[in-house]
Amino acid sequence: MFHLYLPIAGNSVNVLLIFGLGGLVGILSGIFGVGGGFLMTPLLIMIGIPPTIAAASDSNQIVGASTSGTLAHYKMGNVDFKMGILLLIGGVAGGTLGVQVIKVLRQMGNADFLIKITYVLMLGFVGSYMFIESLQTLRKKEVPTAIPQKESKYAQLIGSLPWQTDFIKSGVRLSVLMPLVLGTFVGILAAIMGVGGGFIMVPVMVYLLRMPMHVVVGTSLFQILFTCVDVTIMQSYSNHTVDFILALILLLGSTLGAQFGAKISRKLKGDQLKILLASLVLLVMVKMLFDLLLTPHIMLALKGGH
Amino acid sequence: MIRNRIWIPIIILVASFMWYPQLAGSTESFITKHEPNLIAIGAFFNGTQLTVSGKVAAENEVVVIVKGKQEELTLKKKGKALGLLWMNLGSVHFKNVPNLYLLYSSKGITELGASESRTWEQLGIGFEFLKKQMEMEAPQAEKNDLAQEFLKLKQSQKLYASHPGEISFGQKSGTEKSFKAAVWIPPQIPLGEYQVQVMEIHNGIIVGNSMDQLKVEEQGIPSMISSLAFNHSLFYGFLAVLIAVAAGLVMDFFFGTGKGGGAH
């Protein structure tokens, strides 16, 4: 009962389980503006979906969730389209470049090792920094005496770049080069790590582009939508790895979850959001570390996946 | 019931072809059949049961093997980097491994296999035999471990299984007895053709051997989706995206806060 057969994955799944999983990841995506692939792909592999199909079908699902989430955030005025489009252009360029970089790395050997270690270290660094920073701001708010911040070296540097323009929704004035270059950087990393990039993109927008947290979430979702449309079509076309039945059950859950996530997100303050996301990032890092340290049950694995 | 009756002449015909008079001690009573002959995978397929039954000489034991075609497979190999961290280190290419191997045996042959571990291997039955048969490009010292891990992986995918003692016998009638094996076909079964092999064993020697085909194919919605995904892949990709976007829009329409209501 409640089972459906997945023709591309070649396995059957419990519909309620997959729907629930979609809902959970949709909520996370609506709150934090991440795609949720970090959670979904390993869980799908665990219930017997081949890794390549899990990753590709998940990106199809994210298309639905991020459409729903972007709309919900747009209505709250949380999507900076100008910034999103610039980041997207950078991201596409970076992604293409990243695929080439990974080829070179693989030829050098031991690339997987370097990638995993870099990813764990980066998650650890970004997570800890966000956690400490938002904790300090949360505490500071109790003391009303705000210390006027001095212009940092970083602010001076980005202020001196050419083609400055206003990003109204984000309330910042920046050079067009900033989102383009940072988008490329995240695109390269995402391609190398084999992940969607939400975990890297969100902190980059918060700290390097200095956007307000709520706008970051909406804009990140807007951007993820396009990235995943691209991935879904490419994977369907060249690898036949998108299982539409799987994606459909997932996205029925996640599109609904994203709506609730966006509502939860609105109720939280920027710093509360940041500290929660930081905890999530740290949790993912700890999980990855455990995977690296614990002796695997089986010493062989199917190819593909994260 | 009517279907069963239709099968009787077919079974007799098949059995007459399957009978190997050159095998020592072969009994004329050895008849087998399996049902169904075709497994159709529809939208709600969640694995199914294949019933293999027949008659053997009263003193003999039975082994049933459902086996897929031999294939090649490349898998990632896990190892320790820096003597501390487990990760994928290289890959191993396996050759001459069946894509499905489901083994059922009656109790007596299971005990025989347990007391004389080499017997099964000599009969060409069981995981030990598969290990001997498989080829891989790896250092000699690692081969046995890798073969063991391969079997573990396939078992975790439900594509290999061993069910000792799970063939039941009916009442003896004269010199023969009936047997029945309920073979569980997992939902993970790849599409294609399979061999259902039934062996009658007497004192560690195969005295009866029957082979029959089992076909697994998709029907209905799964078949439509597969054909779309493989034959019209670009269209399939666009369609998948469109439906996902539409689902997002619909959910926002029904569950989202109306425009303006939530704006800052």
In angstroms, rounded to a whole number, what is the distance separating the alpha carbons of residues A152 and A156? Answer: 6
- Between residues B7 and A6, which one has the greater pLDDT? A6
Q: What are the tens digits of pLDDT across the range A80-110?
A: 999 999 999 998 888 888 878 877 777 766 6
Alpha carbon of B107 to those of A137, A147, B104: distances in Å? 71, 82, 10
A72 Ramachandran zone, left/alpha/beta (phi>0; psi -120 to 50): alpha
Which residues of chain A does B237 touch, with a Cβ-Cβ cutoff of 8 Å?
232-237, 242
Structure token pair of residue A21:
């999983």
Judge contact between A218 and A124, C-beta under 8 A: no
Averaged pLDDT of chain A:
85
The residue of B251, B253, B259 whose CB has the most chain A CBs within 10 angstroms, and thus the best one to mutate to test that interface, is B251
- By Cβ distance, the residue of B87, B241, B260 closest to A292 is B87
In angstroms, rounded to a whole number, what is the distance separating the alpha carbons of residues B213 and B69? Answer: 12
**Cβ contact (<8 Å) for A5 and B255?**
no
Smallest Cα distance from A12 to chain B, Å: 6
Under 8 Å CB pairs connecting chains A and B tally to 206
Q: What are the tens digits of pLDDT across the range A195-244?
A: 667 778 888 898 888 899 889 999 999 998 988 898 889 889 888 889 99
Which residues of chain A does B87 touch, with a Cβ-Cβ cutoff of 8 Å?
112-113, 116, 292
- By Cβ distance, the residue of B45, B156, B248 closest to A255 is B248
Which residues of chain B does A54 touch, with a Cβ-Cβ cutoff of 8 Å?
none
**Cβ contact (<8 Å) for A244 and B240?**
yes
Which residues of chain A does B77 touch, with a Cβ-Cβ cutoff of 8 Å?
299-300
Interface of A with B in 235-294 (CB under 8 A): 235-238, 240, 242, 244-245, 247-248, 251-252, 255-256, 258-260, 263, 266, 291-294
Q: Which SS3 state, helix, strand or coil, does residue B5 take? A: helix
Structure token pair of residue B25:
């001690």
**Of the candidate ranges A85-94, B38-47, B120-129, the one whose mean pLDDT is the lowest:** B120-129
Output the DSSP codes for A244-302: HHHHHHHHHHHHHHHHHHHHHHHHS-HHHHHHHHHHHHHHHHHHHHHHHHSPPSSSEE-
Nearest to A258 by CA among A18, A15, A33: A33
On whether residue B264 sits in a domain, the answer given is: no
On whether residue B237 sits in a domain, the answer given is: no
Alpha carbon of B239 to those of A9, A53, A242, B28: distances in Å? 18, 17, 11, 58
**Cβ contact (<8 Å) for A255 and B240?**
no
Whole-number pLDDT of residue B217: 95
In angstroms, rounded to a whole number, what is the distance separating the alpha carbons of residues A276 and A279? Answer: 5
Q: Domain ranges in chain A?
A: 3-143+161-293
Nearest to B56 by CA among B137, B173, B155: B173
User: Is A146 a residue whose pLDDT tops 50?
Assistant: no
Pairing of strands B101-106, B160-173: parallel
Q: What are the tens digits of pLDDT across the range A169-201?
A: 888 888 889 999 999 988 888 777 766 677 788
Query: To which residue do tokens 């990632």 refer?
Result: B76
User: Is B22 a residue whose pLDDT tops 70?
Assistant: no
**Cβ contact (<8 Å) for A63 and B248?**
yes
Pairing of strands B61-67, B205-218: unpaired
Judge contact between A208 and B206, C-beta under 8 A: no
Q: What are the tens digits of pLDDT across the range B141-151?
A: 889 999 999 99
Residue A256's DSSP bridge partners are: none
**Cβ contact (<8 Å) for B41 and A299?**
no
Structure token pair of residue A100:
């080439």
CA–centroid distance for B124 within its chain: 17
Which residues of chain B does A237 touch, with a Cβ-Cβ cutoff of 8 Å?
233-234, 237
- By Cβ distance, the residue of B86, B157, B187 closest to A295 is B86
Confidence of residue A45 (pLDDT cuts 50, 70, 90): confident
Domain containing B58 equals 2-219
Smallest Cα distance from B208 to chain A, Å: 35
Alpha helices in A47-176 (DSSP H): 51-75, 81-108, 111-140, 153-159
The DSSP symbol for A207 reads I
> What mean pLDDT do residues B166-179 have?
89
**Cβ contact (<8 Å) for A5 and B41?**
yes
Which residues of chain A does B256 touch, with a Cβ-Cβ cutoff of 8 Å?
68, 71-72, 75, 259
Which residues of chain A does B74 touch, with a Cβ-Cβ cutoff of 8 Å?
303
Angle at A90 between CA A88 and CA A91, to 5 degrees: 60
Which residues of chain A does B248 touch, with a Cβ-Cβ cutoff of 8 Å?
63-71, 251, 255, 258
Judge contact between B212 and B32, C-beta under 8 A: yes
- What CATH number is associated with residue B95? 2.60.40.10
Whole-number pLDDT of residue A207: 87
Phi, psi dihedral angles at B203 (to 5 degrees): 50, 45
Q: How many domains does chain B have?
A: 1
**Cβ contact (<8 Å) for B240 and A67?**
no
User: Is B2 a residue whose pLDDT tops 60?
Assistant: no
In angstroms, rounded to a whole number, what is the distance separating the alpha carbons of residues B61 and B125? Answer: 14
Whole-number pLDDT of residue B219: 93
**Cβ contact (<8 Å) for A68 and B84?**
no
User: Is A112 a residue whose pLDDT tops 80?
Assistant: no
Whole-number pLDDT of residue B40: 94
User: Is B7 a residue whose pLDDT tops 90?
Assistant: no
In angstroms, rounded to a whole number, what is the distance separating the alpha carbons of residues A176 and A19? Answer: 41
Query: To which residue do tokens 């076309």 refer?
Result: A237
Residue B103's DSSP bridge partners are: B65, B162
